[in-house]
Amino acid sequence: MGDYDAVIIGCGIYGIAAARTYLELHPLARLVILESEEVIGDRVYDDFWTQTPLGMAEFSDSPLVLPRDQKTYHGFFPASYISDYLEKYLDSHHFNGQSLRDRVLFSKNVDCVTKVSDTWIITCEHTPMPFKARSLIVASGMTSEPHHPILPDKTRFKGEMLHQKRFGQSAFHDDQSVKNVTVLGGGKSAADIAYSYGKSGKSVSWIIREDGCGPSGHVRAEAKGPYESSVAMFNTRMASSFSPSNFTQRSCWSRFLHGTRLGRKMIGWIWEISDAQNRAHAGYKTRQGAGKGFELLEPDTPVFWQNDGSGIQQRPEFWDVIANKVNVYRSEITSLSDRNIVLQDGSTIPTDVLLCATGWDSSLKFFTLHESARLGLPVSVEHEDTETSQNWKQLEQLTRSSVLKRFPRLANPPSHFQRPASSTPYRLYKAIAPLDDPSVVILGHIQVGNNFAAAEVQALWATAFLDGRVALPGRREMEQEIAETYAWCRLRYLDKGQSGTFYYFDLVPYIDMLLADLGLNTHKRSWNRAHAGYKTRQGAGKGFELLEPDTPVFWQNDGSGIQQRPEFWDVIANKVNVYRSEITSLSDRNIVLQDGSTIPTDVLLCATGWDSSLKFFTLHESARLGLPVSVEHEDTETSQNWKQLEQLTRSSVLKRFPRLANPPSHFQRPASSTPYRLYKAIAPLDDPSVVILGHIQVGNNFAAAEVQALWATAFLDGRVALPGRREMEQEIAETYAWCRLRYLDKGQSGTFYYFDLVPYIDMLLADLGLNTHKRSWVGSMLSPIQARDLQGLLEESMTKLKNE
Ligand SMILES: Cc1cc2nc3c(=O)[nH]c(=O)nc-3n(C[C@H](O)[C@H](O)[C@H](O)COP(=O)(O)OP(=O)(O)OC[C@H]3O[C@@H](n4cnc5c(N)ncnc54)[C@H](O)[C@@H]3O)c2cc1C
Q: How confident is the model at residue 792 (pLDDT cuts 50, 70, 90)?
A: confident
* Lowest-pLDDT range of 13-22, 455-464, 540-549, 767-776: 767-776
* Ligand 1 pocket residue status of 178, Cβ below 6 Å: no
Residues listed for the chain = 804
Choice from 35, 104, 314 to test ligand 1 binding pocket (greatest atom count within 8 A of CB): 35
Answer whether 764's CB lies under 8 Å from 711's CB.
Answer: yes
Please answer whether residues 59 and 89 qualify as being in contact, where contact means their C-beta atoms are separated by less than 8 angstroms. yes
> Of the residues 72, 145, 216, 451, which should be mutated to test ligand 1's pocket, given the most ligand atoms within 8 Å of the CB?
451
Nearest C-alpha neighbor of 364 from the set 449, 420, 423: 423
Q: Is 11 in the pocket of ligand 1 (CB under 6 A)?
A: yes
* Cα(49) to centroid(ligand 1), Å: 14
What pLDDT shows up at residue 795?
77
Please work out whether the CB of residue 100 comes within 6 Å of at least one atom of ligand 1. Answer: no
Ligand 1 pocket test target in 43, 51, 441 with most atoms within 8 Å of CB = 51
* Atom of ligand 1 lying closest to residue 53 CA: 8
Planar angle of CA 585, 588, 589, nearest 5 degrees:
90
Say if residue 116 is exposed, middle or buried (CB neighbours under 10 Å; 0-12, 13-18, 19+): exposed
Closest CA to 30 of 116, 88, 98: 98
**190 touches ligand 1 (CB under 6 Å):** no
Q: Which residues pair with 354 in a beta bridge?
A: 161, 182
Residue nearest to atom 13 of ligand 1 (CA): 51
pLDDT of residue 1: 47
Least confident of 338-352, 539-553, 610-624: 539-553
Cβ-based burial of 399 (10 A; exposed 0-12, middle 13-18, buried ≥19): buried
**pLDDT range class, residue 731, cuts 50, 70, 90:** very high
Whole-angstrom distance, CA of residue 329 vs CA of residue 117:
54
Give the pairing type, strands 98-99 and 94-95.
Answer: antiparallel
Can you tell me the distance from the alpha carbon of 703 to that of 711, in angstroms, rounded to the nearest whole number? 12
Hey, CA dihedral for 360, 365, 370, 372, is it positive or negative? negative
Find the mean pLDDT for residues 596-610.
94
Q: Which mutation among 76, 144, 318 tests ligand 1's pocket best, with the greatest number of atoms within 8 A of CB? A: 144
Q: Is the CB of 451 under 6 A from ligand 1?
A: yes
Q: CA distances (Å), 540 to each of 243, 532, 548, 569, in order? A: 34, 11, 13, 9
Q: Is the CB of 278 under 6 A from ligand 1?
A: no
The pLDDT value given to residue 20: 96
> Phi, psi at residue 245, to the nearest 5°?
-105, 130
Confidence of residue 732 (pLDDT cuts 50, 70, 90): very high
- Report pLDDT digits (tens) over 185-202: 999 999 999 999 999 999
pLDDT at site 604: 96
Q: Rounded to an integer, what distance in angstroms lies between the CA atom of residue 185 and that of residue 189?
A: 8
**Is the predicted pLDDT of residue 401 greater than 70, yes or no?**
yes
Dist CA 443 CA 33 (whole Å): 14
Ligand 1 lined by 57 (C-beta under 6 Å): yes
Q: Per residue in 39-78, pLDDT tens?
A: 886 556 677 899 999 989 999 888 899 998 899 999 999 9
Separation between Cα atoms, residue 258 and residue 263, nearest integer Å: 6
Whole-number Å distance between alpha carbons of 269 and 263: 10
Contact 347, 332 (CB under 8 A): no
Percentage, residues of the chain above pLDDT 70: 95
Residue 448 CA, closest ligand 1 atom number:
11
Q: 619 alpha carbon to ligand 1 midpoint, in Å?
A: 73
Check if 143 has its Cβ closer than 6 Å to any atom of ligand 1.
yes
749-770 confidence digits (pLDDT tens):
999 999 999 899 999 999 998 8
User: How far does the centroid of ligand 1 lie from the alpha carbon of residue 143, in Å?
Assistant: 6
779 pLDDT band, cuts 50/70/90, is low
Same fold, 3-144+362-381+424-473+501-517 and 148-358: yes
Let me know the angle formed at the C-alpha of 526 by 233 and 703, rounded to the nearest 5 degrees. 105
Give me ligand 1 centre to Cα 83, in Å: 10
Report how far apart, in Å, the C-alpha atoms of 724 and of each of 679, 690, 730, 731 are: 12, 19, 10, 11
| In 558-696, beta strands by DSSP E | 583-587, 590-593, 598-600
Using most ligand atoms within 8 A of CB, pick from 58, 89, 143 the residue to mutate for ligand 1.
143
Predicted local confidence at residue 621, as pLDDT: 96
Residue 168: the pLDDT is: 83
Nearest alpha carbon to residue 129 among 271, 63, 32: 32
**Predicted local confidence at residue 650, as pLDDT:** 95
Least confident of 130-144, 218-232, 235-249, 284-298: 218-232
Nearest to 241 by CA among 262, 257, 223, 222: 257
Fold of 3-144+362-381+424-473+501-517: FAD/NAD(P)-binding domain (3.50.50)
Q: Is the CB of 362 under 6 A from ligand 1?
A: no
Q: What residue segments make up the domains of the chain, in order of their start?
A: 3-144+362-381+424-473+501-517, 148-358, 619-803
pLDDT for residue 525 is more than 70: no
Counting atoms of ligand 1 from 1, which one is nearest the CA of 443? 26
Residue 441 sits at φ, ψ, to 5 deg, of: -135, 150
The Cα 167–Cα 163 span in angstroms is 7
pLDDT at 774: 59
The CATH architecture one would assign to domain 148-358 is 3-Layer(bba) Sandwich (3.50)
Q: Are 676 and 751 in contact (CB under 8 A)?
A: yes
pTM over 0.85: no
Residue 575's identity, in one-letter code, is: K
What's the rounded mean pLDDT across residues 622-640? Answer: 93
Question: 49 φ, ψ to 5°?
Answer: -110, 160
Long-range contacts of 546-549 (CB under 8 A, 24+ apart): 546/578, 546/579, 546/580, 547/572, 547/578
The residue with greater pLDDT, 566 or 441, is 441
Each residue of 319-359: pLDDT tens digit? 999 999 999 999 999 999 999 999 999 999 999 999 999 99
Please provide the average confidence, as pLDDT, over all residues in the chain.
91
What was the pLDDT predicted at 772? Answer: 55
CB 327, CB 292: distance < 8 Å: yes
pLDDT given for residue 559 in this prediction: 85
Q: Does the Cβ of 52 fall within 6 Å of ligand 1?
A: yes
Q: Kindly report the CA angle at 800 between 799 and 803, in degrees rounded to 5?
A: 90
